Amino acid sequence: MNRKIGLFDSGLGGLSILKELVKLLPNENYLFYEDSINNPYGQKSEDELLKIVDNAVKFLLKEDCKIIVIACNTATTCCLKKLREMYPDTIFVGTVPAIKVAYDNNYKNTIILSTPYTMQSSRVEELIHNYRRKDQNIINISGENLAHLIELDNKIEIMSLLNRKLSKYKDVTDSLVLGCTHYSLIKDEIQSILPNTVLLDGCVGVSNEVKHQLEEHKLLNNNSAGNIQIINSKDEKLVERSFGILRS
Ligand code: DGL
């Protein structure tokens, strides 16, 4: 039987990773659990997040997923270590802000834009410690409720928040790390405020890691055409919108 790749996020953000995965591994079956009812993750406490994330993992394991992709920086920075302890037989791949990509490309003025939880997490502190160049200036910014506004597709509020947060960096920054998977869905809007800034996310890196893990565990499916299933925890009507974004 062709077992599924399970993914979850607090809603639409996971689509930015699912898109890359489907390009890289078209023969796989995917189950994306969009936990919109609990959006935004990034404004919750560690205890709340652990409960919510554990429920999502349990759901995907019940569906016999062969690997679980945490398509969310907030859930990864908060819970990945604990999940690996709680489920030692499960293969997890997490998502963290692409700070290493900025390092590898020698950028000098880097904004990290992430959720309030991710921004202050010890994981991000660790990544900055490990991958900050001596001559690199890092600006760590909270996107506040941006993920929620993206979920609601509130274009006016999205632009007003982006302007308030980013316009002052227009001529000083060469790179911006999209530290929340929702933010990868509004690249054009961010780019309209920071036209000369390179936007970096971890979607390709996460997909490559999923492939690597599946190869390593001999779990790759090369034989049949794959399919995609999306389940939304809030409203099944939202699934249609997600398929639209996936195809765009
Ligand atoms: N997309 C998620 C992330 O990468 C969570 C956003 C949220 O719900 O706050 O952090």
Q: State if residue 74 touches ligand 1 by the CB under 6 angstroms criterion.
A: yes
- pLDDT score recorded for residue 102: 96
Active-site residue identified among 65, 78, 79, 180: 180
For the chain, the distance separating the N- and C-terminal CA atoms, rounded to the nearest angstrom, is 30
Q: How far is the CA of 225 from the centre of ligand 1 (A)?
A: 30
* Residue of 114, 151, 181, 245 best suited for mutating to test ligand 1, as the one with most atoms within 8 Å of CB: 181
Dihedral sign, Cα of residue 192, residue 197, residue 198, residue 201: negative
What is d(CA 93, CA 99) in angstroms, rounded to the nearest whole number?
17
| Rounded-to-integer distance, Cα 54 and Cα 49, Å | 8
Supply the pLDDT for residue 224. 78
Cα distance between residue 74 and residue 52, in whole Å: 12
Q: Which domains does the chain have, with CATH numbers?
A: 4-95+203-247 (3.40.50.1860), 99-200 (3.40.50.1860)
Q: What is the pLDDT of residue 163?
A: 98
180 counts as catalytic: yes
User: Is 72 part of the annotated catalytic residue set?
Assistant: yes
Cα 183 to ligand 1 centre (Å): 9
Entry pTM: 0.97
| Residues 89-145 pLDDT 10s | 999 999 999 999 999 999 999 999 999 999 999 999 999 999 999 999 999 999 999
- For residue 140, the cross-strand partners are 112
Tell me which of 72, 78, 79, 203 is the catalytic residue.
72
**What is the structure's pLDDT at 1?**
66
Of the candidates 181, 175, 176, the one whose C-alpha atom is nearest the C-alpha of residue 151 is 181
- CA 73, 40, 109, 126 dihedral sign is negative
Alpha-carbon 102 to chain mean position: 17
Residue pointed to by tokens 């947060």: 165
Regarding beta strands 109-114 and 175-179, do their DSSP bridges make them parallel or antiparallel, or are they unpaired? parallel
Supply the DSSP string of 98-125, one letter for each residue.
Answer: -HHHHHHTT-SEEEEEE-HHHHT-HHHH
Query: Measured in angstroms, how far is the CA atom of residue 41 from the centroid of ligand 1?
Result: 6
Task: Decide if 101 contacts 41 (C-beta within 8 A).
Answer: no
pLDDT reported for residue 34:
98
118 CB under 6 A from ligand 1? yes
Cβ atoms of residues 101 and 205 within 8 Å? yes
Atom of ligand 1 nearest to the CA of 39: 8
Please report the atom of ligand 1 found closest to the CA of residue 71: 4
Low-confidence ranges of the chain (pLDDT < 50): none
